[in-house]
């Protein structure tokens, strides 16, 4: 295997499947099986998940809500998704821990770096919920921050698109996919990979990002095996 410890970033929208909102149990089960396949290879897996399928802080703020209040709601949405993903993973036979930046001791452990790394070494999948527990920061920023803290080898951003393109491939059929691209070129070309704060943090810490299609079964295993899947930013 190419990597020993990975941070998998999933969007909340990915959990919707073909629905308009909420959580699709079938999609959850598929993700759980793909993640299990990776852990069976001895790879340590940490996960950060968004909350956009339930509530997006930025969207709420754009409609007149207080931004801090709105972002707090979004952070709680990620905890709900974390609980759902935890259940799916455990039903597939994996041992897990859900750690949150927001203190909800009745349902999850608080985020403690040393405990998280201990869980990973013991083969448990660790899910990080609650974002960074700070408003104005996205779950992309939380993913990069946690990846750095736990000393992950790579950030795998699972999306519904199979990589980074010169333009939005869903709108421009002439868009060309990159197999590899540098951090500097992403910034120069104005390509959308993560929000600027998260992307800059990843660049400064020389932490590579791979953007790939998580919805194609088996892709996660292919990525961690070193196959050329998606787009690598380094």
Q: Tens of pLDDT along 88-114? A: 999 999 999 999 999 999 999 999 999
Find the DSSP H helices in 92-159: 113-121, 139-149
Q: Would you state the pLDDT for residue 97?
A: 98
Give the pTM: 0.93
Mean pLDDT over 43-70 rounds to: 85
> What pLDDT score does 102 carry?
93
At residue 61 the predicted structure's pLDDT band, cuts being 50, 70 and 90, is: low
What pLDDT does 14 receive? 86
The whole-number average pLDDT for the span 34-55 is 95
Q: What average pLDDT does range 135-153 have in this prediction? A: 96
Q: Residue 60: is its pLDDT beyond 70?
A: no
As beta bridge partners, residue 121 has: none
Q: Which is more confident, 62 or 224?
A: 224
- In 3D space, the residue among 62, 57, 60, 98 whose CA is nearest the CA of residue 79 turns out to be 98
Answer whether residue 20 shows pLDDT above 90: no
Q: Kindly state the average pLDDT of the residues 191-216.
A: 92
Tell me, what CATH number does 145's domain have?
3.40.1160.10
Question: Over 80: is that where the pLDDT of 150 sits?
Answer: yes
Structure tokens at 154: 């790579």
Q: How far does CA 188 lie from the centroid of its chain?
A: 24
DSSP letters of 33-102?
A: HHHHHHHTTT-EEEEEE--TTT--HHHHHHTT--HHHHHHHHHHHHHHHHHHHHHHHHHTT--EEEEESS
pLDDT at 59 over 80: no
Quickly state the pLDDT bin for 183 (edges 50, 70, 90): very high
Phi, psi of 232 (to 5 degrees): -100, 130
pLDDT at 8: 98
Residue 57 scores a pLDDT above 70: no
Strand partners, 49: 10
What confidence score (pLDDT) does residue 38 get?
97
User: What does each C-alpha distance from 191 to 157, 183, 203 come to in angstroms?
Assistant: 15, 10, 14
182 pLDDT exceeds 80? yes
What integer pLDDT is reported at residue 190 of this predicted model?
87
CB 210 within 8 A of CB 233: yes
- For residue 205, pLDDT over 70 is answered with yes
Instruction: Give the domain range for residue 222.
Output: 5-233
pLDDT of residue 169: 81
Which is more confident, 17 or 87? Answer: 87
Indicate the number of domains in the chain. 1
List for the chain the helix, strand, coil content (%; round to 5).
40, 20, 40
């Amino acid at each position: 295997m190419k990597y020993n410890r990975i941070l998998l970033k999933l969007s909340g929208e990915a959990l919707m499947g073909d629905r308009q909102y909420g959580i699709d149990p079938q999609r959850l089960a598929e993700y759980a099986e793909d993640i299990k396949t990776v852990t069976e290879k001895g790879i340590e897996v940490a996960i950060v998940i968004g909350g956009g399928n339930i509530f997006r802080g930025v969207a709420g703020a754009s409609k007149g809500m207080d931004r801090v209040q709105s972002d707090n709601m979004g952070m709680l949405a990620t905890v709900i998704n974390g609980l759902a993903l935890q259940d799916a993973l455990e039903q597939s036979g994996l041992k897990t821990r859900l750690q949150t930046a927001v203190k909800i001791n009745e349902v999850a452990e608080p985020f403690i770096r040393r405990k998280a790394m201990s869980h990973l070494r013991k083969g448990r999948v660790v899910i990080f919920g609650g974002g960074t527990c700070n408003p104005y920061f996205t779950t992309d920023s939380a993913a990069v921050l946690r990846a750095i803290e736990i000393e992950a080898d790579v950030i795998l951003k699972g999306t519904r698109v199979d990589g980074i393109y010169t333009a939005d491939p869903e709108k421009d059929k002439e868009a060309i996919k990159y197999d590899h691209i540098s951090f500097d070129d992403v910034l120069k070309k104005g390509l959308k990979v993560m929000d600027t704060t998260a992307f800059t943090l990843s660049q400064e810490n020389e932490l590579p990002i791979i953007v790939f299609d998580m919805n194609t079964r088996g892709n996660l295993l292919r990525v961690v095996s070193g196959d050329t899947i998606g787009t690598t930013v380094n």
